């Protein structure tokens, strides 16, 4: 894998992991939603 491959893979993973952690953090600190 070349340098650009690493950059694209890590940037994509970073964006998604960051977004997922942010969302779940906000969900957990908000009052529970009851369906």
Report the interface residues with another protein, using CB under 8 A. Answer: 1-2, 4-9, 11-13, 15-17, 19-20, 22-24, 26-27, 30, 33-35
Angle at 23 between CA 22 and CA 27, to 5 degrees: 120
Q: How far is the CB of 14 from another protein (least distance, A)?
A: 10
Q: How far is the CB of 35 from another protein (least distance, A)?
A: 4
d(CA 13, CA 5): 12
Q: How far is the CB of 11 from another protein (least distance, A)?
A: 8
């Amino acid at each position: 894998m070349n340098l650009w491959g690493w950059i694209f893979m890590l940037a994509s993973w970073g964006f998604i992991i960051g977004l997922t952690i942010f969302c779940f953090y906000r969900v957990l600190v908000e009052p529970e939603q009851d369906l």
